[in-house]
Structure 1
Amino acid sequence: MDIKVLRYFLALAKEESVTAAAQYLHLTQPTLSRQLSELEDKLGTQLFIRGSRKITLTDEGIRLRKRAEEILELVQKTEAEFHAPTEAVSGDIYIGGGETYAMELIAEIIKTLRDDFPQIHVHLFSGNADDVTERIDKGLLDFGVLIGPANMAKYESLTLPAKDTWGVLMRKDSPLAERKFICPEDLWDLPLIGSKQKYVDENISKWIKRDYKRLNIVATYNLIFNASLMVEKGIGYALCLDRLVNTTCLSNLCFRPLSPVLEVDINIVWKRYQVFSKASELFLQRLKSMFAHV
């Protein structure tokens, strides 16, 4: 599959018009139309619905757009690695992670690395463990910060000297806000907002002593900020990690830890036998120097 044609495809998906896409790409309309028709023939499926006013993607077109964006992102990442000057340490490091206060430890390493090598640039991707490991597997991320249990068989890893604590985010006027800790039975019949991460289900199910899917889960999230807005509106109680949402005196929200305490390890992982850029190799060396013996 030609990278150039994928760029054409993404341009038309964005512009929703052959005329506009052709102008953006500096192509003639017949050339663009022919290239995209050949792409549909090659894949054996219809990618576009050609309406009178605009062009929209079919379900297969939406699927290809996601793949095309990932492919072009990987191409750009690879080209940047090879174009980096050989006489100086430079380049890009791609790190993904869930929301955790332990990212402060990673930020410290990034700070010292950039102090020594200011031509190094770091790109962060936020998502849960499923999102992060998918992007590591595809080569879009060099490293991933994973919270709690995860399938580590495919990866090398280091455990960070920090743990996250599970608890409940709620409004300060909630009856449960008067408690210091939240027990399993406190949540059995309440509307809950839970994480979409699949490994979380098992941990919470063991702690709460009920099948996670049988709880009153009214909403799910993969990043806690938007979930906190739902909590503030009184939609439910969010099961989440501590220190991620503002619960100071200026906030309407508070956090109460679970009892028995439910803590999770934080691991930074990378693909086995990964060939790193010079910048990523330096980052890994500093990771091992700081955390390998923790």
Structure 2
Amino acid sequence: MDIKQLKYFYTIAEEGQITNAAKRLHIAQPPLSYQLKNLENELGVKLVERGSHHIKLTDAGLMLYKRAKQILTLTEATVDELKDFKKGTYGTLSIGTVSSSGASLLTGRLNTFHDKYPFVNFDIHEGNTYELLEILDKGIIEIAIVRTPFNTSGLNAIYLPKEPMVAAMINELNWNDSKVINITELNNKPIIFYKRFEKLILKACDDCNFEPTVFCKNDDARTSLLWANSGLGIAVVPKSSLRLIGSSNLIFKEINNEMLSTQIAAIWSKTGYLSSAGKNFLQLFKDNGKNEK
């Protein structure tokens, strides 16, 4: 089994049809069918169930599809690294972002970088912090944009200034006109939050001698805001996350609590490969971070 066979199989799985896969690969259908059959014979397993119009992956085929995706991504990354070594600031920069950092990443940073390095393209991977740390460790991405807290072992990091957490709600759930509140004012109110901040929020409440009424825990700050915008509860999120859902009915109040603050950080492996484009991006991230203070 070689890279070409993996690419052929991956394309067939993506297209769901050998005919479409052959067109995408710019080869004739019979040789592609032959390559698939050879791969099944070599591996000793059936990879697809052939139908009249579409193919369906077997369990073995699904396993190979997932592995092929990882291998082909790593192969492309390796080729890009070698091209970058030869050409300098050409190539593709792979960055991972959590949803709650996307707004900050797009606040001028990518535009500024693109203006300065117009021949660098981007491959953006979205996921939660744990997923990004995993693919960073595997070398699938060079840099991850995440939020504190996270395990810093084996990582370099550049931090943006701290930002407060806010309580976001529709007007019907608003209890006063204050723009800044104490966390105790959330006592007995339905709270919605991203699971990443659960320990921070529960600890801050416990320090103020109350147990919060948790209406919903979820895996995305955007989800917290959408639920709050529907009037289901009060979202506790980082302040910059408010830009994630654009126009809304939400009003927000900063929570005056030192514990309830987060930072966006650009992280990269201490031992992994970092391209010239990656180094330039980190320098821009660092410079912009100073300007935001």
State TM-score, norm by structure 1. 0.74
Match of 1:276 among 274, 277, 280: 274
Q: Find out whether 1:232 has 2:234 as its counterpart.
A: no
Partner residue of 2:238?
Answer: 241
Unpaired stretches in structure 2, ≥5 consecutive residues: none
Matched, 1:209 2:206: yes
Task: Provide Cα deviations, 1:12-66, integer angstroms capped at 9, x if missing partner.
Answer: 2222223333344345555434433554566666543444543233455445434
How many residues matched?
A: 282
* 3-state DSSP of counterpart to 1:243: helix
Letter of the structure 2 residue corresponding to residue 15 of structure 1: E
Structure with a larger share of its residues in helix:
2
Query: Which amino acid is the alignment partner of residue 277 of structure 2?
Result: A
- Secondary structure at the aligned position of 1:194 is classed as strand
CA 1:87–1:148 in structure 2 vs 1: closer, same or farther (change >3 Å)?
A: closer
In 2 relative to 1, CA 24–117 (structure 1 residues): closer, same or farther, beyond 3 Å? Answer: closer
CA contact (8 A) 2:16 2:56 kept: yes
SS for the counterpart of 2:241 is coil
Say whether the 8 Å CA contact 1:176–1:182 is kept in structure 2.
Answer: no
Cα distance in structure 2, aligned partners of 1:8 and 1:189: 55
Unaligned runs of 5+ in 1: none
Q: Which amino acid aligns with 1:270?
A: W
Q: CA deviation at 1:275?
A: 2.8
CA distance in 2, matches of 1:139, 1:84: 15
After superposition, the C-alpha distances for 1:55-108 in whole angstroms (9 at most, x for unaligned) are 233455445434433332332233233335846643332222232365368818
Alpha-carbon contact 1:120-1:279 (below 8 Å) kept: yes
- Further displaced range: 147-156 or 127-136: 127-136
Q: Is the 8 A contact 2:221 2:237 kept in 1?
A: no
Equivalent residue number for residue 170 of structure 1: 169
CA 1:106–1:10 in structure 2 vs 1: closer, same or farther (change >3 Å)? same
Equivalent residue for 1:55?
55
CA distance in structure 2 between the partners assigned to 1:276 and 1:138 by the alignment: 13
Asked if the contact 1:128–1:223 (Cα under 8 Å) also holds between the matched residues in 2, the reply is: no
Counterpart AA for 1:166 = M
Contact persistence 2:156–2:267 (CA under 8 A): yes
Query: 1:150 is matched by which residue type in structure 2?
Result: F
Asked whether the equivalents of residues 142 and 273 of structure 2 are also in contact (C-alpha less than 8 Å), the reply is: no
Identical aligned pairs, as a percentage?
A: 28
Contact 2:193 2:218 in 1 (8 A): yes
Tell me which residue corresponds to 2:95: 95
Measured on the aligned residues, the alpha-carbon RMSD in Å equals 3.9
- Letter of the 1:2 counterpart: D
Contact 2:155-2:270 at 8 Å conserved across structures: yes
Is residue 80 of structure 2 the alignment partner of residue 83 of structure 1?
Answer: no
Q: Is 2:128 aligned against 1:128?
A: yes
Q: TM-score, normalised by structure 2?
A: 0.75
SS in 2 for 1:146: strand
Q: Which residue of 2 aligns with 1:70?
A: 70
The 1-side partners of 2:43 and 2:60 are apart by 10
